[in-house]
Amino acid sequence: MHLHFDQACERWRGLYRSALRQFKVQSDIIVDASRTQDERDQAKRLRREAESQLELLRDIDNMRQSDFYSYRYFASEGFLPGYNFPRLPLSAYVPARRTGRRDEFLSRPRFLAISEFGPRSFIYHDGARYIINGVILPVGSEDVLTQRLKLCSACGYLHPINSGSDPDVCDRCGSELGQPMTQLFRMENVVTKRRDNINSDEEERRRMGYEIITGVRFGIQGGIPSFKLAAIEVDGQQIAKLNYGQTATLWRINLGFRRRTDKAVRGFMLDTERGYWARNEQNPEDEDDSMSDAVRRVIPFVTDHRNALLLEPSVPLELEVMASLQAALKHAIQVEFELEDNELAVEPLPSRDPRRLILIYESAEGGAGVLRQLIEGDTFARVCRRALDICHFDSETGADLGKAPRSKEICEAACYDCLMTYGNQPDHQHLDRKKIRDLLVQFGKAKVASAPAPVPRATHLETLLKSAGSELERDWLRLLESNDLRLPSHAQSFFDQCKTRPDFYYHEAKAVIYVDGPPHDYPERDQRDAHHTECMENAGYTVVRFKHTEHWLTIIKDFPSVFGKER
């Protein structure tokens, strides 16, 4: 608990230390006789800005109206229940418009902030327009801290590079990795400068166009990736595969302005002394800030942890099919599980073109918990039948119904009742419901064979069978397989705190399984089993015992959270 509290305080500490560092650095410039008058005047302005930030962070007179009000802040960091305080992890410092008004910190979710708070972009607040003209530089180094990584060009899997790791092949698909992406700058908090008032000619909010890519990496447990692998099969033939990982790490990387002249040049120029972004050369109206000589090109990025699912067809599909399938699955999952549009996000990997995989992740705070269900039972097939219905096809036969029930016009390719949404406008030209009909019909009849490990289900089952200590245990495993139930994650794991070795273990459900043969019928063995059961339950584990004389499926039905539901 105390470690969680300490981590929750880190964002406030980072903002405070950064402001204090800016105050000290600019104070040194002010008293430096070798600096020009313009540089000293600029340093005075930046020092006043740092003072204002420090006052805002320490403000106790107007605490309840502040983003740093204790309940609001700790809820935003996930330490307290959120209730009406959403998680707002990135902040933009907005100076007061006039004397007597308060400075403010505006906050946005990370994945939204990478574009909304992007270099030289505009935000609108309190009747005025502001430009993101700089960043609050992090504390800890005289220079800007940057990172390096390799992004698989075949599947979009991330490989951070550090002193002990510089991979040459992709951990996920085995493809050869290219040159590393360098000068990656973690974007945390930004500063703004007022430009002008919002006028009647500017009815729509103007957004700066950025080239933003996404990468994913599953967590590591015991030196191996922690995700579940599932095969989508029709008549025993695999047609696609699913990878699901809880709290996978997602990176959103801002490569630069979409309309930049040289696409090979990535990132933005950053003044590492004053924190200013260089002006956008493509915008003649963009006024440059007073930059120092300490300028460096960096690539902004943000990271977050999300429940994520990767869908990879067994054969490459054309762009129109992948874009349409992506839109159909998102819409179908939302309808099937009654989710709001902002609770689920989808993106193509490794890029918009080519598209080889579809990344689906739960974008709501805490996750909706629906993606895990897609790799179990008939949930995926049910979602695909729902997608057929949404795309104006009969969910059982695939017959074309032409349009939505209440629509007056025939849907030729896509409409706002099926595939088109405001959020996927860049894909509208590629959407065609008819191109995914046959694929959705296949998916609607498919069986999903999943394993609680990053290996195919058949391989994991074979490993469990070899590790089983008796034929009775192997019979128990075969019963699970014949009824499409969840397989254990481990076999014969030893729990030192209770000095016991259960036959099987479900890591995610934290459940231990004992398959008891005739020797367990003896009183002294039964007494020892009872002691182990009590000890494991006191340690927080669910204990399920299967005696050789009992009807095992009846016991299984009592624990659907462990074994799933029988088909």
Q: What is the pLDDT of residues 389-398, one digit of tens each?
A: 999 999 999 9
Per-residue model confidence (pLDDT) at position 202: 45
* CB crowding 404-414: b at 16 or more within 10 Å, else e: beeeeeebebb
Give the contacts of 244 (CB within 8 A, at least 6 positions apart).
227, 228, 230, 307, 308, 309, 310, 371, 372, 374, 375
Type of residue at 31 = V
Per-residue model confidence (pLDDT) at position 474: 95
Give the contacts of 2 (CB within 8 A, at least 6 positions apart).
none
- Evaluate if residue 539 carries a pLDDT over 50: yes
* CB crowding 325-362: b at 16 or more within 10 Å, else e: bbbbbbbbbbebbebeeebbbbbbbbebeebbbbbbbb
Give the contacts of 106 (CB within 8 A, at least 6 positions apart).
91, 92, 94, 123, 125
Tell me the per-residue pLDDT of 161-186, one tens digit each, with 9 for 90 and over. 876 678 899 988 999 999 999 999 98
Per-residue model confidence (pLDDT) at position 77: 64
Q: Across all residues in the chain, what is the average pLDDT?
A: 86
Per-residue model confidence (pLDDT) at position 211: 92
Per-residue model confidence (pLDDT) at position 365: 65
Q: Which helix (H) or strand (E) holds 437?
A: helix 437-444
Higher-pLDDT residue of 483 and 369 is: 483
Type of residue at 138 = P
Alpha helices of 445-546 — where are they, by DSSP H?
457-467, 471-482, 523-538
Would you place residue 41 in the very low, low, confident or very high pLDDT band (cuts 50, 70, 90)?
Answer: confident
**CA distances in angstroms from 303 to 109, 154, 250, 278, listed in the order given:** 11, 21, 6, 24
**CA distances in angstroms from 68 to 60, 76, 483, listed in the order given:** 10, 9, 53
* Dihedral, CA of residue 556, residue 559, residue 561 and residue 564, to nearest 10: 20
Residue closest to 90 by CA, chosen among 126, 57, 117: 117
- Evaluate if residue 299 carries a pLDDT over 90: yes
- Evaluate if residue 337 carries a pLDDT over 50: yes
Least confident of 244-248, 323-327, 498-502: 244-248
β-bridge partners, 269:
297
Per-residue model confidence (pLDDT) at position 207: 45
Per-residue model confidence (pLDDT) at position 404: 92
What is the maximal distance between C-alpha atoms in the chain? Answer: 93
- Evaluate if residue 538 carries a pLDDT over 80: yes
Tell me the per-residue pLDDT of 418-472, one tens digit each, with 9 for 90 and over. 999 999 999 999 999 999 999 999 999 999 999 888 888 989 999 999 999 899 9
Distance in angstroms (rounded) separating the CA atoms of residues 95 and 156: 39
For the chain, the straight-line distance linking the first and the last C-alpha, in angstroms and rounded, comes to 41
Tell me the per-residue pLDDT of 234-253, one tens digit each, with 9 for 90 and over. 988 999 999 998 878 899 99
β-bridge partners, 147:
184
Distance in angstroms (rounded) separating the CA atoms of residues 74 and 542: 32
**Percent of all residues in the chain with a pLDDT value above 70, rounded to a whole number:** 88
Place of tokens 């927080």: 540
Per-residue model confidence (pLDDT) at position 128: 84
Per-residue model confidence (pLDDT) at position 83: 43
Higher-pLDDT residue of 405 and 310 is: 310
* Dihedral, CA of residue 90, residue 119, residue 93 and residue 202, to nearest 10: -110
| Two tokens, residue 126 | 């309190």
Higher-pLDDT residue of 137 and 346 is: 346
Per-residue model confidence (pLDDT) at position 141: 46
Per-residue model confidence (pLDDT) at position 61: 61
Per-residue model confidence (pLDDT) at position 203: 38
Per-residue model confidence (pLDDT) at position 452: 84
Distance in angstroms (rounded) separating the CA atoms of residues 503 and 464: 10
Tell me the per-residue pLDDT of 359-391, one tens digit each, with 9 for 90 and over. 999 987 666 789 989 998 899 999 999 999 999
Per-residue model confidence (pLDDT) at position 444: 95
Question: Is the omega angle on the peptide bond into residue 560 within 30 degrees of 0, that is, cis?
Answer: no
Per-residue model confidence (pLDDT) at position 206: 47
Per-residue model confidence (pLDDT) at position 557: 93
Per-residue model confidence (pLDDT) at position 195: 79
Type of residue at 267 = G
Tell me the per-residue pLDDT of 72-129, one tens digit each, with 9 for 90 and over. 677 656 566 544 444 456 888 888 766 556 778 788 888 989 999 999 998 888 778 8
Higher-pLDDT residue of 536 and 58 is: 536
How many helices and strands in the chain, by DSSP H and E?
Answer: 13, 22
**CA distances in angstroms from 285 to 121, 130, 269, 361, 440, listed in the order given:** 13, 14, 18, 38, 49
* CB crowding 438-467: b at 16 or more within 10 Å, else e: ebbbbbbebbbbbbbbbebbeebbebbeeb
Per-residue model confidence (pLDDT) at position 163: 60
Distance in angstroms (rounded) separating the CA atoms of residues 254 and 301: 6
Contact 271, 278 (CB under 8 A): yes
